[in-house]
Amino acid sequence: MPHSTYLPEEMGSAVISPAGSFEAGSYASFTLTYTAGRFGMDDTASLKIVFRFAADMGRLQFDDPKGANYVTVEASNNAVLETRYDPKGNLRPWDKTLYIKVVNGFMKEGDRIVVRFGDPREGSPGLRLQTFCESTFEFRVLVDAIATYNYVELPASPVIAIVPGPAAVWKAVLPTMRRVGEPFRLCMKAEDRWGNPTDQAEGRLRLRASFPVANLPEEVSYRKGEFGFFLENLTVPEPADVTIDLLDADGVLLAETNPLRIVESAELLPYWGDLHGQTEETVGTNSVGEYFTFARDRAFLDICGHQGNDFQITQDFWDELNRVTRDFDEAGRFVAVPGYEWSGNTALGGDRNVFFRREGETIRRSSHALLEDLSDVDTDCHTAADLFEALTKAGEDCAVIAHVGGRYADIKMAHDGRFERAVEIHSAWGTFEWLLADAIEKGYRVGIVCHSDGHKGRPGASYPGASWFGAYGGLTCYLMPRLDRDTWFDCLRKRRHYGTTGARMIVDIHAEFESPATVFDDDPKLGPTESREACRAEMGEVLETSDQEVRLCVDVLGSAPIERIEVRNGMETVSVVRPAAELTAGGNRIRVVWEGAEYRGRFRQTVWDGEAWFADNAILRAHPINFINPDKKLKRTDESGLRWEAITTGNFGGFDAILEDTSRGTLRFETELVKFELPVGEIGAEDLVYDAGKLGRRVRVFRLPEVNPYRGCRFEKTIRLKAGQDNPLYIAVTQEDGHRAWSSPIWVHARTKQ
């Protein structure tokens, strides 16, 4: 929705110096000069310079001239100006606001207001720029020249470009599974310290495979100016688990791919997707075309969707979004799915992701809160229940996913399993296993997905940056016989998928029964469905059995060593498998983990700033876990102490300390929420837990071997079923690098004993 459109060309002009391109996350100083227009600015008139919601630039301040983000404001005619910063001082998505008010005097045409961002004259290092790339980062200027508090946007506002910095990290990606002799590709890229793919890397790179790979060269030349590099038509002639190392010219390891499993035959293959993010047309960054290009060519995704807030989607943008997904969708190469985020208030049901099988469907908004055109307001659905009712009446071919963002989905209030087949339990907002708990409590048979809900234009590789997003964005592995949109819809409806916090790992479970079970083609709670008799059930299937026990078969191949695998029946953990357990006794690695959130809503961040030290011992090495924001670091204080700044939003972080002595001394831990002293000799493989209340807030301490060689783990567990109810059987995997994964449950209904 625009501000006033009254004579914008008469409201003045604004320019910025210097202009041009600036490195993401760097410090720079800018002078923005506003020149008053025909109306000047009356006494008590004001000016706003506004920035996007998604921008994680430094917080503007006016008190410390030597500090970062210091801002000064002057009037050329010496009028007295009042300034303040308000992160919610303007209409969404341009809500970060520098407010400048004329409080004594006035401005006539040609008078100037000079704003220095990161004013260096008294020692400020500059304004901290946002940490992600944007070709048109705008200092949007709004003018209330006549002192009515009715702002007019200038016809042109100053713009700079935010570009990537030098290479800091290399990434190499393979598919997760292919058949013997089936061609695949290796994707490579370099990222700057903030996770932006960078075009500044160059040099000769060596490639080293763990198993012979046909057509893989020993070296490749990575040229400056490229954002990604692809090697096509690679094959493996026999079954194997394969990784490929990326090394520099001196043989230093730069990156290792995720594992690729080569099999003789497979009905289903894994395809990776991030179905959830926004762009500048709503509350995100960069255009929708750039968004899908990033997903396909820089994040190396197979499937992507766009989910803009419905109350910001104009009809023109809805038409454009449908055109873009149609253009990008290419069976066998890349699936682009049209859709939108139904963004109802939490009290009305909370956020839902709506996806359509075909373009051109009706967008049924939660409201028209930021839209002027009310011609289609009669299609609004103000509650989630209204949405499901309207979808039913229209018979629309769509799928719905419950998710947690600023507004969390209240699936206890509204749910329709005919459409809502999955819950999103991880995104850049954090980790939300409680949403799955709600579904299980209500008897909803859902699958598990993880996506990014990214706002920074990086679907499939969504770093939180320096903002209050607390986690790396998730990915979902969809198990499908082929890559196209119809097959993806079928996969989602059958719950044949698993989610991760961003790692590409292999997760496979199935259940085996002594006597044939009734396996349904669809959830019989939703209506009549076909069934068959079988002694085996796959991930996501719904079945009934008379057996009292089931054998759950698990196969995991991680992208890093596996710390643990939890076998769950609903929210109950019935078994924990630690692959390196036999190596833990006497291990000198102590892992300390903090986790949880304040509550379900938007400002759920828990602050874990603190320190720890090992009295009467020494730390040989310390390694951070899930310190995703480079600004928040784990630091050594002395030979036995550590200090850190950290937050969690339902996810976890922590550190490993490799000790000089395996059993001597005392661990002393201090944060605002948790303080304790613990003899090192009492720390074992099992978690020692210090609870901090609220939403899963706690600290866990346990011991690990210094080196864990187990990236793969296969096992079987016999699980006793709870008679007369559903038994949602699934696993939760934790890797030592901090990434997690969750399989969708096998929904086993145990018949009541006769």
CATH number of 574's domain: 2.60.40
- Position 356 in a domain: yes
Return the CATH number at 428: 3.20.20.140
Among 447, 477, 502, the domain boundary falls at: 502
* 37, 14 Cβ separation under 8 angstroms: no
Return the CATH number at 123: 2.60.40.3490
**Strand runs labelled E in 428-570:** 430-431, 447-450, 475-480, 497-500, 506-520, 531-538, 542-545, 549-557, 562-569
Report which secondary-structure segment, H or E, holds 442. helix 433-442
- Position 434 in a domain: yes
Average pLDDT for 471-494: 98
Sign of CA dihedral 283, 289, 294, 300: positive
Q: Reply yes or no on whether the pLDDT at 469 is more than 90.
A: no
Residues 152 and 176 in one domain: no
What is d(CA 618, CA 629) in angstroms, rounded to the nearest whole number?
27
* 647, 632 Cβ separation under 8 angstroms: yes
Among 133, 163, 193, the domain boundary falls at: 163
Residues 308 and 454 in one domain: yes
- Position 3 in a domain: no
pLDDT for res 534: 98
Burial grade of 3 (CB within 10 A; 0-12, 13-18, 19 or more): middle
**Any idea which residue has 């590099």 for tokens?**
229
Sign of CA dihedral 157, 158, 163, 165: negative
Residues 616 and 563 in one domain: no
Please report which confidence band the pLDDT of residue 754 belongs to, taking 50, 70 and 90 as the band edges.
low
Residues 59 and 114 in one domain: yes
pLDDT for res 190: 98
What are the pLDDT digits (tens) for 244-298?
Answer: 999 999 999 999 999 999 999 999 999 999 999 999 999 999 999 999 999 999 9
Average pLDDT for 117-146: 98
Return the CATH number at 249: 2.60.40.1930
Q: How far out from the chain centre does Cα 209 lie?
A: 30
Residues 519 and 450 in one domain: no
What is d(CA 19, CA 152) in angstroms, rounded to the nearest whole number?
24
Helix (H, G, I), strand (E, B) or coil at 147: coil
What is d(CA 273, CA 508) in angstroms, rounded to the nearest whole number?
17
Average pLDDT for 321-339: 98
Percent of the chain with pLDDT over 70: 100
Residues 136 and 34 in one domain: yes
Please report which confidence band the pLDDT of residue 124 belongs to, taking 50, 70 and 90 as the band edges.
very high
- Position 507 in a domain: no
What is d(CA 154, CA 4) in angstroms, rounded to the nearest whole number?
11
What is d(CA 428, CA 277) in angstroms, rounded to the nearest whole number?
10
pLDDT for res 657: 98
Dihedral angle computed from the Cα positions of residues 396, 402, 403 and 407, in that order, rounded to the nearest 10 degrees: 90
pLDDT for res 90: 95
pLDDT for res 455: 95
Among 471, 502, 533, the domain boundary falls at: 502
* Domain range for 12: 8-163
pTM reported for the whole predicted model = 0.97
Crossing angle between the packed helical segments 288-297 and 315-328, to the nearest 10 degrees: 20
* 689, 702 Cβ separation under 8 angstroms: no
Average pLDDT for 430-446: 98
Phi and psi at 312, nearest 5°, equal: -115, -5
What are the pLDDT digits (tens) for 640-660?
Answer: 999 999 999 999 999 999 999
Helix (H, G, I), strand (E, B) or coil at 690: strand
Mean pLDDT of the chain: 97
Q: Reply yes or no on whether the pLDDT at 682 is more than 60.
A: yes
Residues 688 and 746 in one domain: no
What is d(CA 686, CA 689) in angstroms, rounded to the nearest whole number?
9
Task: Report the phi/psi class of residue 135: left, alpha or beta, with left for phi > 0 and alpha for psi in -120 to 50.
Answer: alpha
Tally of domains within the chain: 5
Residues 40 and 53 in one domain: yes
- Position 76 in a domain: yes
What is d(CA 303, CA 333) in angstroms, rounded to the nearest whole number?
9
- Position 548 in a domain: yes
Residue 448: closest CA among 227, 745, 662: 745
Q: Reply yes or no on whether the pLDDT at 1 is more than 60.
A: no
What is d(CA 127, CA 59) in angstroms, rounded to the nearest whole number?
9
Residue 668: closest CA among 657, 679, 652, 653: 679
Sign of CA dihedral 493, 496, 502, 504: negative
| Amino acid (one-letter) located at 665 | G
**Token code pair at residue 661:** 């002595």
What is d(CA 116, CA 25) in angstroms, rounded to the nearest whole number?
18
Residues 62 and 111 in one domain: yes
Q: Reply yes or no on whether the pLDDT at 304 is more than 70.
A: yes
What is d(CA 600, CA 409) in angstroms, rounded to the nearest whole number?
10
What are the pLDDT digits (tens) for 534-559?
Answer: 999 999 999 999 999 999 999 999 99
Instruction: Return the half-sphere exposure (C-beta side, CA atoms, 13 A cut-off) of residue 384.
Output: 30
| Amino acid (one-letter) located at 530 | E
- Position 271 in a domain: no
Which residues face 290 on adjacent strands? none
The 8-class DSSP code of residue 319 comes to H
Residues 55 and 153 in one domain: yes
Q: Reply yes or no on whether the pLDDT at 2 is more than 80.
A: no
Residues 540 and 426 in one domain: no
What is d(CA 492, CA 546) in angstroms, rounded to the nearest whole number?
28
pLDDT for res 707: 95
Instruction: Return the half-sphere exposure (C-beta side, CA atoms, 13 A cut-off) of residue 36.
Output: 24
Residues 184 and 35 in one domain: no
- Position 713 in a domain: no
